[in-house]
Structure 1
Amino acid sequence: MRLLTTARVTLAAALGTCAVLLSAPPSPAASGAQPRLAAADTINVYPPIQGASTWDRFGEAPASSHHRVFSNWGYLNDWAVDIYQNPGATVVSPFGSKTAAGNPVSVHVVTVTPGCATGDLADGGWRIGLEAVDDATGTVVGRADVMHVDQKPAEIAVGATVGPWTRLGQTGRFRYSSCYQVNGDTGAHIHLEVINKTKYSCYIGHAAGTGLGDETAVGRVGTENSGPQQAC
């Protein structure tokens, strides 16, 4: 396990910058939400599972079209993907510890609730919502919803601050339901959704079945994409 001081440093140089698209998103007037203005400094998004995991293992739900369930700030989240690992793997925050400019990032728990509409944890575990803040500017950059979390510690509660390796719980196998259509341990996964505070975040388009590690970036928040479900 790597030390916190070296964990999840931004990989912007290797990955390149996202295209800056300045066209505005649809008017929020109908939803009553606040306008999504110019974006902040970017933060990389990493797998929410410590150690090895797999991007879209079965190739049935790519990030370009994967269903989005949750909303933040009055908007449906920007993109979603399933990241797989057998039951018992440690679930962590997906946000990097620094922005692209090197500013420290703090992450706070903003949502803790059963993830499925039934409200029964046996149907799909916990939804844990996290908010990433650029500590140098105080800017809220984005949020992530980490869904299908099992064995959540009591201290993971709204208002808690978590680091890159703080244990949020673990991957689990839940009963088959409309919320969790999994037949075996290899189908156990974390459903990850991401959203910018302003403009739109983006995902990094890995091929189905790609193996991921702790330092494999899977997206970014703070980007200025023109709409949801766009690749970086």
Structure 2
Amino acid sequence: MNNNLTVNDLSVAYQGKIALDHISLTVSPHKLTGVIGPNGAGKSTLLKSILGLIPRTSGEITCLGAPITKQQKNIAYVGQRQDIDLSFPVDVLGVVMFGTYPKLGLFRRPKKNEAALAWQCLKKVGMTEYAKNQIGELSGGQLQRVFIARALAQEADWIFLDEPFAGIDATSEGIIISLLKDLRDEGKSIVIVHHDLHKVRDYFDELILLNQQLIASGTVDDVFTAEHMMRAYGDSIVDMARIGGNRHAE
């Protein structure tokens, strides 16, 4: 069975302005894949258009050997924190329980089995002591762990995360990337929009480098080169990471 996620000729435009221009690539399963590129490159747009959250001008997406529209139950999405209504009156366990809904079907409500699954997912991310807290009481790092638990409760094969490390402290970031690496090792396929070039080699197995067009995709060694980064970022790359520790940049 083909477990890849394949993007073929994907384009997206907003009000006549091109956001993504004829992107074609393949994402390998059971990997941590980072989506990188400068501000405005279309990183979040790529994720949202793949998942059907925003319309595509063109393109076909397949996942697990079928059109992605047939695989929604096998895909979980963790959006940016500012997209979440933190005043919503629900506790942490309730948020994780939402992850069980896609496989329940219409008019069915979660019961004892779903509650047990949600608890196990909270336990996996180390957040059971906060189960009864309202989500607005959590720190940024704690919130991200809860949203990952919700994705786990969905029992999806693929997990997409949009800037999960934005605005959180270094300790929380370390906890989350360790958790995501464990999930990869257990067979999950994880795609992350990421902006900190210093962490690329430590965090990811493969990369997608964008600047409206696809600059490169593949292994970190193949993509994270001085030539590709200059194409994506231009002269600003000199003022940024200097492609921290990249032997190809010498």
Same fold (TM over 0.5): no
Q: What is the TM-score with the length of structure 2 in the denominator?
A: 0.25
Structure with larger Rg? 2
Query: Higher helix fraction: Structure 1 or Structure 2?
Result: 2
Q: What is the TM-score with the length of structure 1 in the denominator?
A: 0.26
RCO (CA 8 Å, sep 6+): is it higher in 1 or 2? 1
Query: Higher strand fraction: Structure 1 or Structure 2?
Result: 1
